[in-house]
Amino acid sequence: SHLLLTEPAPLAANQDNSTNDSSLRILLTLCDLLNRELLVLIGWAKQIPGFSGLLLVDQMSLLQSGWMEALLVGVAWRSQGAGGDELVFAGNLRLDEAQCRATGLADLYEALRHLMAKYRAMKLSPEEVVTLKAMALANSDADPVDCPDSVQRFQDGLHEALQDYESSRREQRRAGRLLMTLPLLRQTADRAVQAFLRLHRHHRVPIHKLLLEMLDAKA
């Protein structure tokens, strides 16, 4: 219930008008949105029980490793409700397959659709979504971690919350099933990071400082 309360309201995209190139306009709009989402994500992380008690260096490591996974849980969740084949980055930024292909995000599109299909089939509840998001951060396998015991306790707290929740619904197998979706989430996030790095390095798409710093940490 704490995670449900601290879940930030979805952001809206600010449409970029700086260029006539419609693909570039979409990318600039998307990168601006992601940059602002990152800011919100960092504020959100501090409110997850146990996170602020970690060493500052470990907080940084977890965020640097797990930020894209946490953001993609949100995208996949928002896209569930939308029928059709769109990725819902924001209520006013929905990209279909053709748009993703035109903007160099075909690979990301395919990976995210795969993840979404998995989540959709599982019919995730809001409680599960917010816990999965926090677990993606806690379980990001940051290396090195200065205080592994504290990180372990942080993970245990979230795991226990998930198990308690599923027990209350008499869904004994559900926690394990959710944990088994984490590898696909990791894989999808890696592809997303590669896609944005490629756009920046090879196609010179300008990227805001915070987003670039977080992408570079994963490069």
Six-digit token string for 201: 């390095």
CB of 7 to another protein, least distance (A): 17
In this complex, which beta carbon is closest to another protein, that of residue 105 or of residue 136?
136
In this complex, which beta carbon is closest to another protein, that of residue 5 or of residue 56?
56
CB of 59 to another protein, least distance (A): 5
User: Closest by alpha carbon to 67, among 15, 10, 134, 137?
Assistant: 137
Q: Are 181 and 77 in contact (CB under 8 A)?
A: no
CB of 42 to another protein, least distance (A): 5
Give, as ranges, the residues between 58 and 77 that touch another protein (CB under 8 A): 59-60, 63-64
Helical segments of the chain, H only: 2-6, 22-47, 56-81, 97-102, 106-122, 126-138, 148-168, 174-179, 182-202, 209-218
CB of 99 to another protein, least distance (A): 30
Euclidean distance between CA atoms 177 and 17, whole angstroms: 43
Residues of this chain that interact with another protein (CB under 8 A) are: 39, 42-43, 46, 56, 59-60, 63-64, 209-210, 213-214, 216-217
